[in-house]
Amino acid sequence: MQVCVFENAAQVGKAAATLIAAQLIEKPDSVLGLATGSSPVPCYKNLIEMNRQGVVDFSRMTSYNLDEYVGIPEDHVCSYHRFMNDELFDHVNVNKANTHVPSGLAEDLDAVAAAYDEDIVKAGGIDLQLLGIGRNGHIGFNEPGDKFIPGCHVVELTQSTIEANTRFFDSEADVPRKAISLGISSIMNARKVVLIATGADKAEAVRLSVKGAVDPQVQASILRTHPNVIFLLDKAAASQL
Ligand code: F6R
């Protein structure tokens, strides 16, 4: 595991974008695993600029997002489908047919989850997985528990996650209670993992992931067993290391 500490979140974003750009330059038809939330926003802004400058080409890549809320329409202002369009896909030369975000609206979500995993395997697996980390150590929406769940699945969000994500909604009551998330095996099968953590509210989760035991109560701790993982941290997120 490699841990890189930067002065601030802007630098972390630039570093993450640089790694993704390098991936796409080396292998233009890469399969990217993408994340939503606040952490990757500076990274996506940098990628948009690199695409505008002709440095990064998205036309041949395929992407699979980590997760989506259950029960909100794809065009809902808080949906992760909408987030990806607003923050990245609408601004780069991506073929949207090659971008995937799991559906949180289907009647049979277990079937959606199984098909999502199969699609990733058929696409050749994820070359580079971008991750954020929850205050409780979650990756994707794999919440603290007594085991690591391997495949894509429906998750009951914990109170900590609901509170953390209330900032995107009008009120806590509006935050969906369930999500569909890639499982830990799909994340661990990625050939390279890039985790972004910025801000002091991530410091404890980062410390437990980097220095604690591998423990499903801190789902990100499993990344320590990944052969090619890099944590990109700002000083605040690294403050307990
Ligand atoms: C988002 C995701 C989550 C977030 C995490 C951190 O697709 O899977 O694990 O990465 O909740 O969220 P932010 O970056 O908003 O602090």
Note the pLDDT tens digit of each residue in 45-83: 999 999 999 999 999 999 999 999 999 999 999 999 999
Closest-lying ligand 1 atom to the alpha carbon of residue 142: 9
The tens digit of pLDDT for each residue in 112-164 reads 999 999 999 999 999 999 999 999 999 999 999 999 999 999 999 999 899 99
What is the CATH number assigned to the segment(s) 2-234? 3.40.50.1360
Q: Give the three-class secondary structure for 144.
A: coil
Residue 229: strand pairing partners: 193
Q: Which atom of ligand 1 is nearest to the CA of 202?
A: 16
Give the pLDDT of residue 181.
98
Q: Residues enclosing ligand 1, CB less than 6 A? A: 35-39, 66-67, 132-134, 138-141
Rounded to two decimals, what is the model's pTM? 0.97
SS3 97: helix
- Catalytic residue, from 46, 85, 98, 138: name it: 138
Q: Indicate the SS3 state at residue 15.
A: helix
Indicate the average pLDDT of the chain. Answer: 97
Is the distance from CB of 122 to CB of 185 less than 8 angstroms?
Answer: no
Q: Which atom of ligand 1 is nearest to the CA of 161?
A: 11
What does the domain layout of the chain look like in residue ranges? 2-234
Closest-CA residue, ligand 1 atom 3, reads: 140
Q: Which of 85, 136, 142, 165 is catalytic?
A: 136
* pLDDT per residue as tens digits for the range 5-44: 999 999 999 999 999 999 999 999 999 999 999 999 999 9
